[in-house]
Amino acid sequence: MRATVRRRVSLLAVVGAVVMSTAAVFIASQPASAATVPTWPTKTGDVKISATVSVKAGKVYDGGMKRFCCVGSGSQSETQPAVFDLADGATLKNVIIGSPAGDGVHCEGRCTIQNVWWEDVGEDAATFKDTSGGDSYVIGGGAKSASDKVFQHNGNGTVHISNFYAKTIGKLYRACGNCSKSYQRKVIVNNVILDSAKYVVGINTNWGDQATLRNVTLINGKKTHVCAEYKGAPKGTEPTYLQDGWGDGNCHVSKSDVTYQ
Ligand code: ADA
Ligand code: CA
Ligand code: CA
């Protein structure tokens, strides 16, 4: 190779390396995984209900993306009926819940709530009451306008929440801080997008609750508490907020698990 050709080749190599490294820096500066807000589903029809719809143990209730409406008053009263009541091992899927939405979905035992969308959360969106220490799942779906809690964990065991979207909510999840029975409760949150949430999860450290959070995207979330720790209290009294936990014995989450968008 002639000297000038060699110089040109090495110059090209240098330019190439600079372009590559610039690209690498550009890619590295992007959020780890830019999350996309899911499109709210369109109803395929309406189902008018005037009382709780029960799903028997182990059965799957597929709503076919119909909009189920309505029970209760839309207030924060705990005495409203549930929209759906799931017996142990039941699955509720492909449902849009209209408003008023009463006390939401009740899981009497282990349950799976898949691709369920709350247009306007009632007292809460779902309550997990299993006391067998089992696992319950929320997979996909979304919820809007919860004055307080979306998922309320009153039993024990583990609630898994994944691929969920919520907008304008108090807490995505709360391990009951003042139920008639106290338990250690666990929650695993993965891949959620929350727009205008006051809290992601609230847990009680005095009962040994465990929260594990990964891939949390917060929109309008500069002030959002990610993992709030409380001292749970007896029924009829209010739990005390202690602090936000980051990578301690109860809140298994680090700042890198949260993306602000
Ligand atoms: C509140 C209330 C609890 C329980 C819960 C629920 O947190 O203090 O005792 O009723 O709501 O199940 O919605
Ligand atoms: Ca409730
Ligand atoms: Ca409540």
> What residues are in contact with ligand 1 under a 6 Å CB criterion?
78, 123-124, 127, 152, 154, 176, 178-179
Q: What share of the chain is helix, strand, coil (3-state, %, to 5)?
A: 15, 50, 40
Q: Tell me the CA–centroid distance for residue 187 and ligand 1, in Å.
A: 17
pLDDT tens for 195-204 read 999 999 999 9
3-state secondary structure of 19: helix
pLDDT tens for 224-257 read 999 999 999 999 999 999 999 999 999 999 999 9
Q: Tell me the CA–centroid distance for residue 189 and ligand 2, in Å.
A: 20
pLDDT tens for 5-22 read 444 444 434 444 444 444
Q: Is the pLDDT of residue 3 over 50?
A: no
Q: pLDDT value at position 12?
A: 39
Q: pLDDT value at position 32?
A: 53
E-only strand ranges, the chain: 46-48, 53-55, 60-69, 84-86, 90-97, 105-107, 111-118, 126-128, 135-139, 142-153, 157-175, 185-204, 210-219, 225-231, 240-244, 251-252, 258-260
Q: Is the pLDDT of residue 60 over 80?
A: yes
Average pLDDT, the chain: 91
pLDDT tens for 96-124 read 999 999 999 999 999 999 999 999 999 99
Q: pLDDT value at position 26?
A: 38
Calculate mean pLDDT across residues 204-213: 98
What is the reported pTM?
0.89
